[in-house]
Amino acid sequence: QVQLVESGGGLVQAGGSLRLSCAASGRTFGTYAMSWFRQAPGKEREFVAAISSGAGITYYADSVKGRFTISRDNAKNTVFLQMNSLKPEDTAVYYCAAAGGKPWNLRDLGNYDYWGQGTQVTVSS
């Protein structure tokens, strides 16, 4: 069982930055692929970024590539999402997720075993 707790959300002006954190419980954090998804009001939950277990390969949605950076600190059981050059369309609840078993498609939310409760990010224009 893995518990995920997100933090770092808030209100920021367009062009600003935020850093989200996701703290995980358990002693096997390093074996999980970790991702961030987001869900805006009235829209489906969508993939934002992922980082694999082991080699730490990263993947990004086209909409955030070059602006967001995902990273992980296995010693601290934490995954981060650094968000720069934020836009109003980035406004959403951001969720951290963990996937075991090395799924081949980290963009598919159906492959994730554990989810956090979400943290609100609001970008004003």
Distance CA 113, CA 55 (A): 20
pLDDT in tens, 26-52: 879 999 999 999 999 999 999 999 999
How does pLDDT run across 45-96, given as a tens digit for each residue? 999 999 999 889 999 999 999 999 999 999 999 999 999 999 999 999 999 9
Contact 18, 119 (CB under 8 A): no
List the structure tokens of 108: 């598919």
Q: Are 28 and 41 in contact (CB under 8 A)?
A: no
pLDDT on residue 34: 97
Taking alpha carbons only, the member of 86, 80, 64 closest to residue 15 is: 86
